[in-house]
């Protein structure tokens, strides 16, 4: 049986580079602080799944001390570097690289509020059970988790990333070639200022969200 590998995609956490749509509400440092908390939370959920192997993939090198520190905190040795021009190319490269190394890849985003260890285990079970692909849609029309049993470059080329039709277009392309896919329960991510209200529902983030109106906290 092939081993399962979880790939956590992350941006190098520097002020002004992460959660840019939240900067008007939080400031650069506040957006960075929230991003790091979300990534830390996702890594904790992934590690709790007891999956064979977990990797953190950074969008640039050299890897920052912040990212290296988070990896070490969660027992992740080594950080790999994303390759490719746009998000689709980078995702395809990471997935295909893992498949070429003999493992089944499940790629997840860094800002998923609802990701649980069960999502990771269910994704692995779907791939090991014969599915060609597994997805966890997000409520904004995209997806926050994707796993593949074989390369599928067509699923990542010329995709309207960041828009509301990503999952719909993915379903259309999968259906056109008879790709057997499994969809897990939807997830929420945090991208827009209106999404900040969701933090009140997350116990470990609610206190941070109530932390005041200065830079680094929601007003």
More confident residue, 217 or 13: 13
**Residue 90: its pLDDT value, please?**
97
- Domains within the chain, CATH numbers bracketed: 4-209 (3.90.550.10)
**Residue 125: its pLDDT value, please?**
96
- 49-74 pLDDT tens trace: 998 799 999 999 999 999 999 999 99
Please report, for residues 10, 11, 213, the alpha-carbon distance to residue 27 in angstroms, rounded to integers and kept in the order given: 20, 18, 11
- Average pLDDT for residues 80-104, to the nearest whole number? 97
What pTM value is reported for the model?
0.93
Which of 202-210's residues contact partners 24+ apart within 8 Å by CB, and which partners? 202/41, 202/113, 204/37, 204/41, 205/37, 205/38, 205/41, 208/33, 208/34, 208/37
Half-sphere exposure of residue 96: CA atoms within 13 angstroms, side-chain side: 15
Report residue 77's pLDDT band, with 50, 70 and 90 as the boundaries.
confident
CA distance 107 to 56: 10
């Amino acid at each position: 049986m092939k081993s399962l590998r979880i790939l956590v995609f992350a941006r190098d956490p520097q002020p002004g580079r992460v959660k840019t749509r939240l900067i008007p509400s939080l400031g650069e440092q506040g957006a960075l602080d929230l991003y790091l908390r979300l990534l830390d939370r996702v890594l904790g959920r992934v590690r709790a799944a007891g999956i064979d192997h977990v990797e953190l993939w950074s969008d640039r090198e050299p890897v920052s001390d912040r990212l290296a520190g988070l990896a070490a905190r969660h027992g992740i040795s080594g950080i790999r570097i994303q390759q490719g021009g746009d998000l689709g190319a980078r995702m395809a490269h990471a997935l295909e690289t893992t498949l070429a190394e003999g493992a089944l890849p499940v790629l997840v985003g860094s800002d998923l509020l609802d990701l649980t260890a069960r999502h990771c285990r269910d994704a692995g079970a779907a791939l090991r059970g014969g599915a060609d692909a597994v997805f966890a849609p997000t409520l904004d029309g995209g997806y926050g988790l994707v796993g593949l049993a074989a390369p599928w470059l067509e699923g990542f080329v010329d995709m309207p990333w960041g828009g509301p039709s990503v999952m719909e277009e993915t379903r259309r392309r999968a259906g056109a070639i008879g790709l057997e896919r499994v969809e897990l329960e939807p997830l929420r991510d945090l991208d827009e200022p209106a999404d900040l209200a969701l933090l009140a529902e997350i116990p470990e983030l609610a206190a941070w969200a109530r932390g005041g109106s200065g830079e680094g906290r929601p007003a």
